[in-house]
Structure 1
Amino acid sequence: MTIENFIWDSHNQSVSWLYDGKVIKETFKNAHFASVNRQKNFVYVEAGKNYSQDQIYHLSFDGGPIFIFDKVNNIVRWLNQDKMVEVNCKKIVNAQLYIGQVVLIITASNGVDRRLQGFALDGTLLFEKEPPQGYKFEYLSTSKNKPSVVCDVGKTNVDAYGRNSWYFTIDTKTGDMTKENLAY
């Protein structure tokens, strides 16, 4: 089942839609963007001062939270078997739920040194990793249908075309990373 009549009201910082005959409406402080991900069946909302991505919300079509990461309050929450799981992480850079697999979080302890943490869906810490030698974690993504992280190799090690960002797929049990292909 899908949603109908999706409305992003930037003036009132709210989203609304029709689902299963019911009107769903949610309001978010400092919201500046919202959309529908029809492939993965959730409503996506970004909020933060000055258009920053301080809070990211994934809402089910019935309006319930599926995944939230909040850089301001250092919290990442997700739905697992009808219960919300919460972890506290200082200085969150990026976080992503890979449904049925893992939650990955990039943190920056001192604003520069970034680490990758992987959590089981029940909230258990599975691993904590530093970036591959010579690289810096940039953001989480998907490559070859696997959880991945985009890493920057810096200006000193670019290829002949000036490209310096690479996808590394992540083993969701161990955190081991495999260099895959260029990230554009």
Structure 2
Amino acid sequence: MTIENFIWDSQNQSVSWTYNGKIIKETYENAYFATVNTQENFVYVEAGQNYSQDQVYHLSFDGKRIFTLDKLSGKVSWIYQDKMVEVACKGIVNAQFYIENGVIIVITALSQPHRKLQGFALDGTVLFEKEPPHGYSFVNLSTYKNKPSAVCDGGKINADAYGRSSWHFVIDIKTGDMTKENLAY
């Protein structure tokens, strides 16, 4: 089932749509972007002052928050078996809910060059905590061939002949081990 009449009202920082004949409307302080993810069936909202991605919300089509990333409070939360699961992570840089893989992955940084990768099972159990691959630093989370990946930058030392140094490292969701796969653009 899909939604109808999706409206992103940037002036009022609200998003609304119709699902199963019911009108759903949500407002978020400092919201600056919203869209529908039709592939994974959720509404995506970004909020933050001066277009800084401080909060990210994934809403089910019936209006429930199914995933929230809040960099200001240092919390990532999601719905699992009809209960809210919340983990605290200091210095959140990026977090993703990989629904099809059943894992939450977070990049944190206590200082700019010292970033780490954390993986959580849907019940909130820590699965792994990893440093970036040798010679690389974490940039953000992504997907590569439908698998969770970390985009890592290798700087001038790891650049190819064309000066490209950002790569997708596919993440093993059980161990956190990363395999270098392909250039990230």
Normalising by structure 2, report the TM-score: 0.97
Q: Match of 1:43?
A: 43
Structure 1 segments of 4 or more deviating over 4 A?
none
Alignment of 1:24-43 (within 5 A): 24-43=24-43
Partner letter of residue 141 of structure 2?
A: L
User: Which residue does the alignment assign to 1:183?
Assistant: 184
Q: Is the 8 A contact 2:113 2:137 kept in 1?
A: no
Aligned to 2:151: 150
**2:145 and 2:17 mapped to 1: Cα distance?**
32
Structure 2 match to 1:23: 23
Give 1:145 deviation, angstroms: 1.4
Report sequence identity in percent: 72
Q: Tell me the SS of whatever aligns to 2:111.
A: coil
Listed as ranges, the matches of 1:50-69 within 5 Å are 50-69=50-69
- Return the alpha-carbon distance in structure 1 between the equivalents of residues 137 and 124 of structure 2: 25
**Aligned-pair distance for 1:81?**
1.1
Shift in Å at residue 112 of structure 1? 2.5
- 2:50 is paired with a residue of what secondary structure? helix
Residue identity opposite 2:106 in structure 1: I
Q: Output one character per residue of 1:110-163: Cα deviation in whole Å (capped at 9) or x when no partner.
A: 233000000010000111000000000011111121111100001232111111
Deviation track 1:56-95 (CA, whole Å, cap 9, x = no partner) reads 0000000001111000110000111111100000110000
Which amino acid in 1 is paired with 2:114? D
AA partner of residue 103 (structure 2): V
Q: CA deviation at 1:28?
A: 0.2
* Residue in 1 that maps onto 2:108: 107
Distance (whole Å) between structure 1 residues aligned to residue 118 and residue 31 of structure 2: 27
- Does the alignment pair 1:97 with 2:100? no
The number of aligned residues is: 184
Give the alignment of 1:160-175 within 5 angstroms: 160-175=161-176
Equivalent pair of 1:57/1:67 in contact (CA under 8 Å): yes
Matched with 2:11 is 11
**Does structure 2 retain, via aligned residues, the 8 Å contact 1:91–1:111?**
no
Q: What is the CA–CA distance in structure 1 between the aligned matches of 2:70 and 2:156, rounded to whole Å?
A: 31
Q: Which amino acid aligns with 2:14?
A: S
- For 2:34 and 2:126, the matched residues in 1 are separated by 30
Q: Give 5+ residue unaligned stretches, structure 2.
A: none
1:82 matched to 2:78: no
Q: What RMSD over aligned residues (CA atoms) do the two structures have, in Å? A: 0.8
